[in-house]
Amino acid sequence: MPSNEGLVSLAREFRVLIVGGSYGGLGAAMTLIDLCRGRLARFNFTPNAQPPQHRIPIQITLVDERDGYYHLIGSPKALASEKYASKTWNRFVDIPALKTPDIKFIRGSVHSVDCQRKVAQILDSQTRRSREEKYDFLIAASGLRRVFPTVPQSLERDEFLEETRQNVKAIQNAQEGVVVIGGGAVGAEMAAELKDLYPSQKVTLIHSRDRLLNAEPLPDSFKDRICAILREQGVTVTHGQRVVDITAVDTNEGRRIWQLTLSDGTQVKAGHVMNAVSKSVPTSTYLPKAALDEDGLVKIRPTLQFPSNAPNADEHFAVGDIVSWSGIKRCGAALHKGHLAATNVHQLMLAQALNAKPEFVTLKPHPPVMAIALGKTAVAYDSDGGLQDGEKTYATMFGNDMGFSICWDYMKLSEPCEA
């Protein structure tokens, strides 16, 4: 670590409330810790950048419903593999980079924010009581509300591992095969992971539209390649058919199976059904309506600050999937937003303490980019590189563990947060 000698310590302590401990929230917290300790941010890629000359006392309060950081990208594999699942959920108190008195954790949910008074009402999950938390700056990073199997529904690591155990058991005992309903990104990845982990298991993917990933603003060649690879891997892909009924049937052997009826009248039997059809809902009900669009997403400015008509807009930021911005919602974009928002919060701290003018960084429009993991291969698309697929693409985009190590190492979560 660089030496902190020569730094000027400011007298004032700033309080920062971060709502959400996933990619965007942790990215913001790690950036703030670095900058306020007079170091270059761990996500810094600016050539010839110089570390801050002032040390700023801060108290970060991070609120999350879960008891830890969960690698959301890995959900399709985590819910089908107990070994992998154990790796993907790390309790906040066990993460070396977060073991610092500068950060305190509240397991709970923010149910209201008074931006005028800069006070949040937080329902503490452990005490079951509402508590008031004052702050100088707020970073909303609570994301979207997603359902199983897009994300696990457990809020504690032990419950999550049990949730995975039950799902794995159901997959292994599904003599009539496993049906995945919904051919979006999660459904496609889940079908591929099931076939990779359980090659002898029959896996069927049913999608209501004529193309997989139909909702994504990406070329048809990308979507068609995903479908082709799934079929090459042995997944039965049925598209253009909606599941209109699912009926439980008890067999003579005492087992329960499921009979699915499709829109054309076709019937499909399954030993286990995983529904990957869901509409994600923003978790922004605690924020003022002046900051939200008609879909409940935060209308951020390029500085990641709330829109100017919101109370104390300059001291309120939003990052990650909860914001209204161009591009496809993904973890890399959330981390980037968290870094930029924290950089601007740091600039405001310096400005208020030193009576100086803040030098903001701004968020640029995101073009559509996506990478899909399909077992041991992947398909990726971006406007510069075009369409790519194969095992090398998987290694580049996901490493060897669905991107867990890439994200963990990028955030440097294994490095103790030294003073």
Read off the pLDDT band of 3 (50, 70, 90): very low
Q: What is the pLDDT of residue 48?
A: 85
Q: What is the mean pLDDT of residues 131-140?
A: 97
pLDDT at 241 over 50: yes
DSSP 154-170: -SSHHHHHHHHHHHHHH
Q: Are 21 and 108 in contact (CB under 8 A)?
A: no
Helical axes 23-36 vs 404-411, angle rounded to 10°: 20
Q: What is the pLDDT of residue 418?
A: 64
pLDDT at 1 over 50: no
For the chain, state the CA radius of gyration.
23
Go through the chain and tell me how many residues it has: 419
The CA angle 15-121-339, to the nearest 5 degrees, is 40
Q: What is the pLDDT of residue 419?
A: 57
CA distance 356 to 142: 31
DSSP 130-156: EEEEE-SEEEE---EE--TTTS---SS
pLDDT tens readout for residues 310-332: 999 999 999 999 999 988 888 98
Q: What is the pLDDT of residue 4?
A: 54
User: What average pLDDT does the structure give for the chain?
Assistant: 93
pLDDT tens readout for residues 165-189: 999 999 999 999 999 999 999 999 9
CA distance 110 to 254: 46
Q: What is the CATH number of domain 8-146+280-365+403-411?
A: 3.50.50.60
pLDDT tens readout for residues 41-84: 999 888 888 899 999 999 999 999 999 999 999 999 999 999 99
128: exposed, middle or buried (C-beta count within 10 Å: 0-12, 13-18, 19+)? exposed
Which CATH architecture best describes the domain 165-278?
3-Layer(bba) Sandwich (3.50)
pLDDT tens readout for residues 16-33: 999 999 999 999 999 999
Q: What is the pLDDT of residue 131?
A: 93
Which carries the bigger pLDDT value, residue 419 or residue 99?
99
Q: Cite the beta strand spans of 7-73 per DSSP E.
A: 8-9, 14-19, 54-55, 58-64, 68-70
* Dihedral (Cα; 122, 123, 125, 129), 10-degree rounding: 120
Strands of the sheet containing 386-390, edge to edge, are 370-374, 377-382, 386-390
| SS3 track for 294-331 | CCCCECCCCCCECCCCCCCHHHEEECHHHECCCCCCCH
Q: What is the mean pLDDT of residues 372-381?
A: 96
What residue segments make up the domains of the chain, in order of their start? 8-146+280-365+403-411, 165-278
